[in-house]
């Protein structure tokens, strides 16, 4: 009877509502993955040097990470639909600024604004799905639609970005957001009611600033010029993160409680999140540069080539869920991170191979391996976090997962950027790809911190 009632609640209007809300997640992901193939063109047009290309991605990711906690608190307090609409308008204006920017400082400021708007847009969309579909069945279907839409943005973003830029220029990657933002602004107020909570949870603005400064992206990039300055910056960043953790522990209702990751299994999952971010997502940023340097590929060709690394994200995740039940989490993640590490080694071999055909073979083998490993592990890590976290901290654990992914991605992009050769010679890419392989291997070791299987007995604090 309950199943029939839920089927009645799921109709064409429900699917349209879920798809429209999912469009926000699509735009947020698309403006990360599509940009990776046009970074050289942006750098040439706006005068961004090789060592500054990492900021094209990191300005967005850091702003997204820093704004996410604030966006969630404001959505609960002032309204989730209002948060989405504000984030959508913010994202629209920032996209327009990216498309019209005439120098690198303006462009990077616009990218940071995009990241902040995307945090409000995604937070509002996910919160509205939870309130618009209170029944478990329709809610699962709605999140399924959002997952597919997000997966398409991640998998096809580089290819679409390459095609848009080759036909219209890189600026149209950002200008193309405008009609979709307009569609969200028109449809959402007519499809979804406003919801909010009566909450007095404080907003720790100083804590957000401290956490943002603790990401030390500039310190990582300083490795190109001065190891001493990098070491000082990293030490300062560690101190800021420790200060943030101590500050949150003193809060009666913390925005982000570090104790959620205090247990060994949760620390292992956090390490895995960082390893996948460095071994796969950060590598995607630099693959178009390598493919152009090694084989002379254009943005369009590189975008199509990257399908070898991104299409597994659409195809393999369902098999990851089945393997998790058979192998257990520890063996699944160990196998997945081993594939990512081997993929990084294959890409390093491609960088060192002079002959074109063998180098192409190594490159495609590497892309397929990192894509397969990431597709097996990335979706399952969220389930692992929720399985390990105490029930009362599941919402905060989910927030921590997103922040760890974004922060790991930003730091991974910076680390690989510091190792990318100034002259973009193909052989020089052995260092960033080798670093990515090493980070993935550390992820394999982190699997030893996990229980063989995750169930109620393995929750943090048990």
CA distances from 341 to 40, 136, 294, 370, 442 (A): 26, 38, 21, 7, 9
Domain finish residue from 213, 237, 254: 254
C-beta of residue 42 within 8 angstroms of C-beta of residue 56? yes
Which residues fall within 8 angstroms of residue 128, CB to CB, at 6 or more apart?
21, 80, 81, 84, 188, 192, 195
CA–CA gap between residue 417 and residue 397 (Å, rounded)? 30
State residue 369's pLDDT score. Answer: 96
Q: What is the DSSP letter of 135?
A: S
Task: Calculate what percentage of the chain has a pLDDT beyond 70.
Answer: 79
261-291 confidence digits (pLDDT tens): 667 887 788 888 889 988 998 899 899 989 9
Which residues fall within 8 angstroms of residue 11, CB to CB, at 6 or more apart?
none
pLDDT-derived band at 5, boundaries 50, 70, 90: very low
pLDDT-derived band at 232, boundaries 50, 70, 90: low
Report which listed range, 122-126, 238-242, 258-262, is most confident: 122-126
- The answer on 375 and 279 residing in a single domain is yes
More confident call, 17 vs 231: 17
The full DSSP string for 321-354 is HHHHHHH-HHHHHHHHHHHHHHHHHHHHHHHH--
Q: What is the mean pLDDT of residues 96-105?
A: 93
- The answer on 153 and 23 residing in a single domain is yes
More confident call, 144 vs 315: 315
CA–CA gap between residue 98 and residue 112 (Å, rounded)? 10
- The answer on 110 and 11 residing in a single domain is yes
pLDDT-derived band at 69, boundaries 50, 70, 90: confident
CA–CA gap between residue 112 and residue 108 (Å, rounded)? 6
CA distances from 450 to 229, 292, 359, 408, 447 (A): 35, 40, 37, 20, 5
- The answer on 126 and 45 residing in a single domain is yes
- The answer on 143 and 261 residing in a single domain is no
Task: Please provide residue 138's backbone torsions phi and psi, each rounded to the nearest 5 degrees.
Answer: -60, -35
pLDDT-derived band at 123, boundaries 50, 70, 90: confident
H or E segment to which residue 402 belongs: helix 394-419
Residue spans of alpha helices (H) in 133-263: 136-168, 171-175, 177-191, 205-213, 217-221, 227-250
CA–CA gap between residue 158 and residue 227 (Å, rounded)? 33
192-229 confidence digits (pLDDT tens): 777 766 656 666 667 667 766 666 555 565 555 555 66
> In the predicted model, is pLDDT for residue 109 greater than 60?
yes
User: What CATH number is given to the structural domain containing 268?
Assistant: 1.20.1250.20
Lowest-confidence region among 2-6, 209-213, 300-304, 407-411? 2-6
- The answer on 229 and 180 residing in a single domain is no
C-beta of residue 266 within 8 angstroms of C-beta of residue 387? no
State residue 1's pLDDT score. Answer: 46
Instruction: Confirm whether 262 is domain-assigned.
Output: yes
C-beta of residue 56 within 8 angstroms of C-beta of residue 108? yes
Domain finish residue from 192, 214, 244: 192
Instruction: Confirm whether 197 is domain-assigned.
Output: no
- The answer on 432 and 403 residing in a single domain is yes
Residue 380 C-alpha from the chain's centroid? 15
Parent domain of 78? 1-192
Instruction: Confirm whether 418 is domain-assigned.
Output: yes
pLDDT-derived band at 2, boundaries 50, 70, 90: very low
Instruction: Confirm whether 198 is domain-assigned.
Output: no
Instruction: Confirm whether 122 is domain-assigned.
Output: yes
- Per-residue b or e along 317-344, where b marks 16 or more CB atoms closer than 10 Å to that residue's CB: beebeebbeeebbbbbbbbbbbbbbbbb
- The answer on 229 and 261 residing in a single domain is no
* Residue 37: closest CA among 169, 149, 148: 169
State residue 40's pLDDT score. Answer: 86
- The answer on 289 and 143 residing in a single domain is no
pLDDT-derived band at 402, boundaries 50, 70, 90: confident
- The answer on 268 and 245 residing in a single domain is no
Average pLDDT, the chain: 80
Q: What is the DSSP letter of 393?
A: G
Instruction: Confirm whether 199 is domain-assigned.
Output: no
- The answer on 447 and 335 residing in a single domain is yes
CA–CA gap between residue 377 and residue 317 (Å, rounded)? 8
> In the predicted model, is pLDDT for residue 428 greater than 80?
yes
- The answer on 220 and 174 residing in a single domain is no
C-beta of residue 185 within 8 angstroms of C-beta of residue 88? yes
Instruction: Confirm whether 311 is domain-assigned.
Output: yes
Number of structural domains (the chain) is 3
State residue 256's pLDDT score. Answer: 67
């Amino acid at each position: 009877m309950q199943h029939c009632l839920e089927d009645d609640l799921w109709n064409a209007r429900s699917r349209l509502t879920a798809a429209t809300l999912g469009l926000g997640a699509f735009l947020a992901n698309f403006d990360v993955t599509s940009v990776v193939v046009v970074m050289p063109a942006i750098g040439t047009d706006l005068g961004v040097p090789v060592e500054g290309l990492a900021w094209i991605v990191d300005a967005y990711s850091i702003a997204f990470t820093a704004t996410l906690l604030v966006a969630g608190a404001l959505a609960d307090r002032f309204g989730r639909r209002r948060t989405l609409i504000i984030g959508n308008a913010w994202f629209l204006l920032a996209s327009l600024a990216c498309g019209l920017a005439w120098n690198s400082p303006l462009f990077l400021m616009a990218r940071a604004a995009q990241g902040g708007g995307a945090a409000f847009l995604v937070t509002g969309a996910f919160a509205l799905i939870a309130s618009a579909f209170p029944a478990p069945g329709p809610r699962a279907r709605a999140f399924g639609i959002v997952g597919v839409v997000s997966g398409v943005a991640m998998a096809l973003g580089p290819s679409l970005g390459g095609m848009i830029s080759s036909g219209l220029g890189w600026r149209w990657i950002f200008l193309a957001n405008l009609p979709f933002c307009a569609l969200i602004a028109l449809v959402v107020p007519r499809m979804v009611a406003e919801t909010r909570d009566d909450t007095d949870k404080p907003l720790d603005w100083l804590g957000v600033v401290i956490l943002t400064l603790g990401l030390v992206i500039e310190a990582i990039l300083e490795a190109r010029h001065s190891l001493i300055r990098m070491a000082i910056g990293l030490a300062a960043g560690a101190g800021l993160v420790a200060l943030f953790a101590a500050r949150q522990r003193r809060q009666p209702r913390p925005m982000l409680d570090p104790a959620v990751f205090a247990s060994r299994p949760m620390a292992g999952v956090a390490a895995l999140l960082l390893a996948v971010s460095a071994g796969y997502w950060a590598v995607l940023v630099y693959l178009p540069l390598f493919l152009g340097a090694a084989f002379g590929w254009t943005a369009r060709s590189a975008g199509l080539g990257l399908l070898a690394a991104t299409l597994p994200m659409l195809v393999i995740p369902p098999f990851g869920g089945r393997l998790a039940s058979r192998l257990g989490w520890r063996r699944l993640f160990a196998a997945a991170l081993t594939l990512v590490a081997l993929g990084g080694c294959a890409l390093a071999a491609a960088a060192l191979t002079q002959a074109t055909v063998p180098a192409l073979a190594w490159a495609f083998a590497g892309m397929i391996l990192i894509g397969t490993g990431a597709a097996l592990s990335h979706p399952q890590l969220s389930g692992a976090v929720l399985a390990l976290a105490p029930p009362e901290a599941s919402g905060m654990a989910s927030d921590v997962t997103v922040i760890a992914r974004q922060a790991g991605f930003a730091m991974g992009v910076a680390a690989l950027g510091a190792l990318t050769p100034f002259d973009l010679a193909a052989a020089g890419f052995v260092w960033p790809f080798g670093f990515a392989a090493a980070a993935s291997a550390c992820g394999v070791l982190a699997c030893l911190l996990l229980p063989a299987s995750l169930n109620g007995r393995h929750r943090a604090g048990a």
